[in-house]
């Protein structure tokens, strides 16, 4: 029997109240496990040393193993007051809608016996999506791999698209990205003699200029974006020519190979410039995300399920979204798809402190997941 939307709303708001940061989603897990155990969950597999888990539903008959994944973590954002179910953890909130994702996936625990005619269903609740770390850790966990998933599905809510709009992509749904931090070590001098300094001022402006020339506009297939997020050279001291500096970018592209190629060009240029001006440097990659590749057949399953439901409208997207998701770690190894669920044209954007997942979505999207599961089993 499907879970009533009123119970899903209650769960979603409980999850919202107990928002937790990446790698600390313990109360969130407890709420979900209690909900699932009350709905004939066959078993629960703890993953990644207890940071993630998968609820298992078994038809008792041979067939494909199908996974639906939701993300557990919230963001370090202080939400605007006004909700009677606002986050109890100050400065931590579900401003990306993961509370809604978890609830929609949990809805499959209701009436699964009517849909799962053969095979097994896994509801995967993954930690640390916001840091780009959870999926790669799950894919390294033997307990998950030993379950032998055949297909995997994930989704994200999309503010700005009408409620009831389902967005599917073509080959890639969301961009690859990484933070790149370049730390340059130099030598200061008296401000009266800047020529005696070995200063990052000689390098950083040239790297900013190179990054700008490498950029390619959206929605070109060769799209590449290098956003400077921090530029720091010295301190505000009027007697010192600065030595050290730091330059940090977020690099973004549809194509991981292109992203890596342009990043190497930036780093090679940095090395040449540092050698020329007597400086040294080191670099770090921060929160790298793969592109979110999607399987053509599994994406068509999502499209066909959408078109069968009168409450939904299908939208086919020609180019990936700018933003990134760690779901691509799964689809590199497992046939699957990732899609978007509209929650309203006028909704605040993701990561906005005014954002809130729309509970009306809990009335229409659970049926879509059930139909996707049914169609996969018919393949």
Annotated domain spans of the chain: 5-173+291-378, 176-289
pLDDT at 251: 98
pTM of the model: 0.94
Residues in contact with 28: Cβ distance below 8 Å, sequence separation at least 6, in sequence order: 15, 18, 19, 20, 72, 102
pLDDT at 220: 76
Give the CATH architecture of domain 176-289: 2-Layer Sandwich (3.30)
pLDDT at 344: 98
pLDDT at 228: 98
Six-digit token string for 122:
């896994």
What is the mean pLDDT of each successive set of 10 residues along the chain, which is 379 residues long? Answer: 94 99 99 94 95 97 98 98 96 99 98 95 99 98 98 99 98 98 98 98 98 85 95 97 98 97 98 99 98 98 98 97 97 99 97 98 98 96
Residue 151 marked in a binding site: no
pLDDT at 219: 66
Residue 16 marked in a binding site: no
Residue 130 marked in a binding site: yes
pLDDT at 88: 97
CATH number of 5-173+291-378: 3.40.630.10
Residue 98 marked in a binding site: yes
Residue 118 marked in a binding site: no
């Amino acid at each position: 029997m499907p879970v009533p939307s009123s119970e899903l709303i209650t769960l979603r708001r409980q999850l919202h109240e107990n928002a937790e940061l990446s790698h600390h989603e313990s109360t969130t897990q407890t709420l979900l496990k209690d909900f699932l155990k009350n709905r004939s969950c066959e078993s629960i597999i703890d993953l990644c040393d207890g940071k993630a888990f998968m609820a298992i539903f078994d038809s008792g008959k041979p067939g494909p193993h199908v996974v639906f994944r939701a993300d557990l973590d919230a963001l370090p954002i202080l939400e605007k007051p006004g909700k009677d179910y606002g986050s109890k953890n100050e400065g931590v909130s579900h401003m990306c809608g993961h509370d809604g994702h978890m609830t929609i996936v949990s809805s499959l625990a209701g009436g699964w016996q009517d849909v799962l005619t053969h095979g097994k269903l896994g509801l995967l609740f993954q930690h640390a999506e916001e840091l780009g770390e959870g999926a790669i850790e799950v894919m390294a966990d033997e307990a998950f791999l030993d379950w032998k998933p055949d297909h995997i599905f994930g989704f994200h809510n999309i503010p700005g698209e009408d409620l009831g709009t389902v967005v599917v992509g073509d080959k890639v749904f969301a961009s690859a990205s990484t933070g790149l931090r370049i730390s340059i070590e130099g030598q200061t001098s008296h401000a009266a003699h800047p020529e005696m300094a070995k200063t990052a001022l000689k390098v950083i402006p040239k790297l900013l200029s190179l990054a700008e020339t490498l950029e390619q506009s959206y929605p070109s297939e060769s799209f590449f974006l290098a956003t400077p997020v921090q530029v720091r050279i010295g301190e505000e001291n009027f007697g010192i020519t600065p030595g050290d500096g730091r330059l940090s970018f977020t690099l973004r592209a549809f194509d991981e190979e292109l992203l890596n190629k342009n990043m190497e060009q930036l780093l090679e240029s940095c090395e040449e410039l540092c050698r020329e001006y007597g400086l040294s440097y080191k670099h770090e990659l921060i929160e790298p995300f793969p592109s979110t590749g999607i399987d053509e057949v599994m994406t068509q399953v999502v499209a066909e399920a959408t078109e069968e439901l009168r409450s939904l409208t299908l939208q086919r997207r020609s180019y990936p979204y700018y933003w990134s998701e760690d779901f691509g770690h799964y689809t590199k190894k497992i046939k699957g798809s990732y899609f978007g669920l509209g929650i309203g044209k006028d909704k605040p954007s993701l990561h906005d402190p005014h954002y809130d997942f729309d509970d009306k979505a809990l009335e229409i999207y659970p049926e879509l997941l059930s139909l996707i599961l049914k169609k996969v089993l018919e393949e």
